[in-house]
């Protein structure tokens, strides 16, 4: 088992990565069980695939365990669903010693984390990501929250889990498209922080059937853990994790949550950010072409015609605006990201030609 630590003083926690790890969760959590109540939050399909077995294993090891389900997809990431989960926790007589196990992808993890952050002013939770996107990105770092009609993740909190438990074998139960969507975030980590890793990923994408997921997940987790340990609340360095997300989040909001997968939207956003980086004289033309061709190895959906004016409305409410300035993540070179407040609306609109 590989263990990567997110170093945050008293809020430090481990990321455990191992094929078959799901079956070992009762032993991993045995020392912190005590008399507390555990609540698995997941989706119906995931409960059928993994959650019911997890619950039986926990109960067999002496854990008091309940389950809360939410409907699949981004539509569940809202304040109404959040409120219903809070009410259910009250019905289950949960208290400050209770703990949540978030079994699912980014939606389950974000909603569960926000519930944990706010129920009784904060209870423990553990992330058990079941998607590629969750394993390499959303389950790590403590970003929690829900969407509003105006944009993505506009309501939330930074609240760290007690641990992240990653079983790469769970990816085998996912639709192929869902797994490939998460590879956009894998590309991101190499692009912003590790050029050698970027080249490895680009090569691995030539044969996705043989993609070494466990190695890729471990490297992405190592990069993110290092960044979070240095900048927990996105004051400076952590901003680079938003590479591709400004346009990506706007695409998700404009097209409708769930219409395009998050990783797919971010992939298009990275192509836009790469083009802007090139236009502003940061990224060389050669490296922009390499970035675009690597992203092009993913089976991205064909986009409908995008209303540029409408898209800009969503970008204007993006949470990366501060003091009327948009903090836009660009590439100085592959493996080295920079933050710019000089990206204009015209540059963004011109970059959208990569959609064509």
Cα 91 to Cα 38: distance, rounded to the nearest angstrom: 14
Asked if 77 is an active-site residue, the reply is no
Do 219 and 327 fall into the same domain?
A: yes
Domain C-terminal end among 140, 173, 206:
173
Q: Which domain holds residue 338?
A: 176-355
Domain C-terminal end among 173, 191, 212:
173
Do 216 and 169 fall into the same domain?
A: no
Do 198 and 323 fall into the same domain?
A: yes
Cα 214 to Cα 226: distance, rounded to the nearest angstrom: 18
Q: What is the pLDDT of residue 318?
A: 67
Do 254 and 128 fall into the same domain?
A: no
Do 168 and 222 fall into the same domain?
A: no
Question: Shortest CA distance to 166 belongs to which of 215, 117, 226?
Answer: 215
Catalytic residue among 43, 74, 234, 252: 234
Catalytic residue among 37, 143, 162, 319: 143
Asked if 262 is an active-site residue, the reply is yes
Asked if 96 is an active-site residue, the reply is no
Query: What length does the chain have?
Result: 356
Do 272 and 335 fall into the same domain?
A: yes
- What are the residues whose beta carbons fall under 8 Å from the beta carbon of 207, sequence distance 6 or more? none
Do 143 and 245 fall into the same domain?
A: no
Question: Shortest CA distance to 188 belongs to which of 152, 212, 224, 147?
Answer: 224
Instruction: Note whether 69 and 42 are within 8 A (CB).
Output: yes
Catalytic residue among 50, 77, 245, 327: 245
Asked if 242 is an active-site residue, the reply is yes
Do 153 and 208 fall into the same domain?
A: no
Question: What are the tokens at 190?
Answer: 């190499």
- What stretches of the chain show up as alpha helix (H) in DSSP? 25-29, 44-46, 52-60, 79-91, 106-118, 132-133, 176-193, 195-204, 213-230, 245-255, 262-279, 285-295, 308-316, 345-351
Catalytic residue among 242, 261, 275, 287: 242
Asked if 185 is an active-site residue, the reply is yes
Catalytic residue among 239, 262, 275, 319: 262
Catalytic residue among 50, 74, 152, 185: 185
Cα 306 to Cα 308: distance, rounded to the nearest angstrom: 6
How many angstroms separate the Cα of 122 from the Cα of each of 67, 94, 112, 116, 196?
Answer: 19, 12, 12, 5, 40
The CATH number linked to 220 is 1.20.1090.10
Do 183 and 318 fall into the same domain?
A: yes
Question: Shortest CA distance to 128 belongs to which of 22, 20, 263, 3?
Answer: 22
Asked if 245 is an active-site residue, the reply is yes
Other beta carbons within 10 Å of 286: 10
Cα 159 to Cα 8: distance, rounded to the nearest angstrom: 12
Do 111 and 255 fall into the same domain?
A: no
Q: What is the pLDDT of residue 321?
A: 60
Catalytic residue among 238, 261, 271, 275: 238
- Provide the whole-model pTM: 0.92
Cα 348 to Cα 311: distance, rounded to the nearest angstrom: 10
Domain count, the chain: 2
Catalytic residue among 87, 121, 285, 356: 121
**322 bridge partner residues:** 325
Asked if 323 is an active-site residue, the reply is no
Do 136 and 187 fall into the same domain?
A: no
The CATH number linked to 118 is 3.40.50.1970
Question: What are the tokens at 193?
Answer: 């922080």
Tell me the average confidence (pLDDT) per consecutive run of 10 residues in the chain, 356 residues long: 97 97 96 95 96 96 97 90 97 97 96 98 98 95 90 89 98 87 95 98 94 96 97 91 94 86 95 97 97 96 90 78 77 96 93 89
Instruction: Note whether 123 and 98 are within 8 A (CB).
Output: yes
Asked if 16 is an active-site residue, the reply is no
Asked if 23 is an active-site residue, the reply is no
At 274, give phi and psi (nearest 5°).
-65, -40
Do 148 and 213 fall into the same domain?
A: no
Local structure of 336: helix, strand or coil: strand
Asked if 193 is an active-site residue, the reply is no
Domain C-terminal end among 173, 194, 214:
173
Cα 76 to Cα 104: distance, rounded to the nearest angstrom: 13
Catalytic residue among 152, 193, 249, 261: 249
DSSP annotation of 298 reads S
Local structure of 281: helix, strand or coil: coil
Q: What is the pLDDT of residue 242?
A: 94
């Amino acid at each position: 088992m590989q263990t990567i630590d997110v170093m945050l003083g008293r809020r430090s926690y481990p990321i455990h990565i191992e094929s078959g790890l799901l079956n070992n969760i009762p032993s991993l959590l045995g020392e912190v069980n005590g008399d507390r109540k555990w609540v698995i939050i997941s989706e119906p399909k995931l409960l059928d695939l993994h959650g019911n077995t997890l619950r039986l294993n926990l109960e067999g090891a002496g854990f008091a365990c309940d389950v809360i389900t939410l409907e699949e997809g981004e539509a569940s990431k809202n304040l109404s669903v959040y409120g219903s989960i809070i009410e259910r926790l009250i019905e289950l007589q949960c208290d400050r010693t209770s703990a949540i196990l978030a079994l699912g992808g980014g939606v389950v993890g974000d909603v569960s984390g926000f519930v944990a952050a706010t129920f009784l002013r904060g209870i423990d939770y553990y992330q058990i990501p079941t998607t590629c996107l969750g394993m390499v990105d959303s389950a790590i770092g403590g970003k929690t929250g829900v969407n509003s009609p105006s944009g993505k993740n506009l309501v939330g909190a930074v609240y760290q889990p007690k641990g992240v438990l990653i079983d790469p074998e769970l990816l085998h139960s996912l639709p192929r498209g869902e797994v490939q969507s998460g590879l956009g975030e894998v590309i991101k980590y190499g692009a912003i922080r590790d050029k050698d890793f970027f080249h490895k990923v680009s090569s691995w994408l030539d044969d996705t059937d043989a993609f070494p997921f466990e190695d890729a997940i471990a490297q992405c987790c190592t990069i993110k853990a290092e960044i979070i340990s240095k900048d927990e609340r996105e004051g400076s360095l952590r901003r680079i994790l938003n590479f591709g997300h400004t346009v990506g989040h706007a695409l998700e909001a404009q097209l409708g949550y769930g219409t395009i997968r998050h990783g797919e939207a971010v992939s298009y956003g990275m192509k836009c950010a790469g083009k802007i980086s090139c236009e502003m004289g940061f990224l060389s033309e050669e490296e922009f072409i390499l970035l675009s061709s690597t992203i092009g190895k993913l089976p991205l959906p064909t986009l409908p015609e995008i209303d540029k004016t409408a898209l800009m409305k969503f970008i204007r409410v993006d949470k990366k605006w501060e003091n009327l300035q948009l903090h836009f993540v660009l590439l100085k070179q592959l493996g080295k990201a920079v933050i710019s407040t000089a990206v204009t609306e015209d540059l963004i609109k011109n970059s959208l030609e990569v959609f064509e």
